[in-house]
Copies of this chain bind each other. A is one copy, B any other.
Amino acid sequence: MTDISPLAPKSLPALPEIRGVQLATAETGMKYKNRADLLLAFFPDGANVAGVFTLSKCSSAPVDWCRNKLALAEPAKALLVNAGNANAFTGKAGDQAMAATITAVAQELGCNENQVYVSSTGVIGEVLDAELINGHVRNLAANLTEDLWQEAADAIRTTDTFAKGATREAVIDGQTVTINGIAKGSGMIAPDMATMLAYVFTDAAIAQNVLQELISSATDRSFNAITVDSDTSTSDTLMIFATGINDKITDPGDPRLNDFKAGLDDLCQDLALQIVRDGEGASKLITINVTGAAHDHAAKTIAMSIANSPLVKTAIAGEDANWGRIVMAVGKAGEEASRDDLRILIGGQKVTEHGMGVEGYDEDLCTAHLKGDDILIEVDVGISDGSATVWTCDLTHGYISINADYRS
């Protein structure tokens, strides 16, 4: 099960240094052996910070902590992430373990505990071993460096088969800034306001309220538009840290942000698609465009109904142009759709029209498209002009193998 996803990018792009962001990793061995599983990011001059988190009613202790600290609007000084244990559903013991790691980091770095952000990812229901982690904090603090992005992306992986990262440049008011992002996630991916874990870092100078608007907006068409298995994690976290803390831009509508916003949106979508490409057992990346819906939200509901349908996902795994299952998924979505105007295209070829299959459509052409690993499904539901795009992967024997045997 350690085979790299066939949909993996050739390599992680080179992420440049970002002024004001220092990184260090360590091997605790808490679950994974012979690899780094602990990441410390330090912002010596502070960073404005914003984030979006899982809407799960059983969110993890670290998610609750981060949400509360964001509300204080203090600059962030540190981020600690461990892989292998989610510290979710661990009650008071889990809270205490988390608090102990935060205290250790704050003391070592000489900052306020409220400025320390934490994330945990891995198995649910096991209390974090704070002592194990804290045994590494001094070393982490002593080894911080600006040039460790590959290692950082590697350290936060769990069942991921490749490290995920992206970088963009953007111009704000004549100045070029950098945006780096790293992410992890492969299963339990149906993000609801955020994804498993993703962190974006930039040296731009942007106020916290503006950052929050930018990251929330970027999420809609990236992390909130992907699904691997319709299961939403208890630990979904997306945060952005901006080290240019002079609060140069304070108005979310400031037109000087346009290029940055485009770069951030693009980077978030890039990271989100890397997660789908590493979907458990995935052999195909599927793009689903829905148009003609009553409104954009309806289009997204329909697109997600298709993306989460096990029958659609297995048909695509089987390279079978069984578009009847797409009709089924549109029908069950609960949103308005005109059966008799429904148009479905597979790989650009129209396969249904006027409420039935297109007579004499080229099924061989369809099948040829489905034999590729980049699948396009377009659906127009014939009501109005709402539209949405979501991404998913197919459902294969690999998913069953991975998940019927995850804990052991």
Residues of A within 8 A of B (CB): 54-59, 86, 88-94, 123-127, 187-188, 190, 192, 229-234, 308-311, 314-315, 317-318, 320, 322-325, 327-337, 339-340, 342, 352, 354-357, 395-397, 399-401, 403-408
Contact = CB atoms under 8 A, between A and B. Distances in A.
A395 B190 CA distance: 18
Stoichiometry (number of copies) = 2
A404 B314 contact: yes
A190 B332 contact: yes
A93 to B, nearest CB: 6
A58 B352 contact: no
Nearest to A400: B397
19 contacts: A56-B328, A57-B331, A57-B334, A57-B339, A58-B342, A86-B324, A88-B327, A89-B342, A91-B356, A94-B356, A124-B324, A125-B323, A188-B311, A229-B310, A230-B308, A230-B310, A231-B325, A310-B310, A314-B403
Contact of A322 (B400, B401, B407): B407
B405 A327 contact: no
Contacts of A330: 57-58
A231 B190 contact: no
Contact of A356 (B125, B339, B405): B125
B125 A58 contact: no
A357 B330 CA distance: 40
Nearest to A125: B324
B314 A399 contact: yes
A331 B234 contact: yes
- Quick one: which of A123, A317, A322 has the most chain B CB within 10 A? A322
A91 B310 contact: no
